[in-house]
Amino acid sequence: MEISKYALFADVAETHNFTKSGDRLGYTQPGVSHTLKSLETELGFALFRRAKNGAFLTPAGRQILPLVRQLLSVNEHLEETISSLNGLTTGHITIACFASISRNWLPQIIYRFRQDYPGIEIELLEGGTDDIVGWIEDHVADFGLLSRRHTSALNWIQLREDPLMAILPNEPKYAQRKSYPVAEMVKQPFILSAEGTDYDIHHLLDKTKIKPDIRFTSKDDHAIVSMVANRLGISILPKLVIDDADYDFISLPLSPYFKRDLGIAYKDESALSPASKKFIQHIQAVLPPSADPPDLPEEDRLDAEDPD
């Protein structure tokens, strides 16, 4: 078995383009065609159908793709284990994460990690909860950094809590408040994170039975903040999302207090490569602890979360 053929197959499945995958993996365009044709001959069925807008998997190709990704993951694990026995000098880690985590946490962690392991390549995939869980389950990512909600099928390492905040226009009526009651969101124009991106806000609304007047939904957290700043409505977002948002708005702790749990999700500990395990150790060492909960009255300190 030539593992390079399967690596090329998986890459073309991602790019839908023979030339682009060839450039990434060091093949000429005829070389890509020849290698994939050879693999199809070995397997006994076609893997791709060619169209004007690219190369797309056949039903048989779609069926074996998750297994091929698993094979490549195991092979990479083997190579990194050998490297680890010789000092862990090479390897590759694919991390799936929320964009807010990519912006706020990972630059410092990656910098520290590369001081110790400069030969290990790190690839980041940004997406919402559904994207990240899918990438982990399909062996596209080694592990994910995300909220715990809707990850019950995966293993979990808790990192820190992240408060959910009311996001409000910069208006005098909000400026003197210390918190914002969730109950006041009833019938107000509301901008909601798209379901599948982050389930925590949807859970909060279900838990409190609050029914705001939803005017817009978006997968882009900063677009939501911009719409609030432009007085199109109010919203709820995690604190980590708004920490670097450069817009004219007010954020207030919710009453009662709600939070999300952020951590590391992975499919199987035995499948984590030595490089991934080392990176996870760096995350735990570098990441600061959770901030203290907001200074709210005692009756508002209820953590209204429940297990996934």
Cβ-proximal residues to 46 (8 Å cutoff; 6+ apart), any chain: 40, 58, 60, 61
Q: What global pTM score does this model have?
A: 0.71
The structural domains of the chain, ordered by start, are 1-57 (1.10.10.10), 161-260 (3.40.190.290)
CA distance 299 to 294: 13
> What pLDDT score does 31 carry?
86
Q: Is the separation of the CB atoms in 255 and 267 below 8 Å?
A: no
Of the two residues 291 and 161, the one the predictor is more confident about is 161
> What pLDDT score does 305 carry?
46
> Environment class of residue 53 by beta-carbon count within 10 Å: exposed (0-12), middle (13-18) or buried (19+)?
exposed
**Radius of gyration of the chain, Cα coordinates, nearest whole angstrom:** 23
pLDDT digits (tens, 9 = 90+) for 61-76: 999 999 999 898 888 8
> What confidence tier does 291 reach under pLDDT thresholds 50, 70, 90?
low
Q: Is the separation of the CB atoms in 38 and 97 below 8 Å?
A: no
> What pLDDT score does 197 carry?
80
pLDDT digits (tens, 9 = 90+) for 186-196: 878 999 998 77
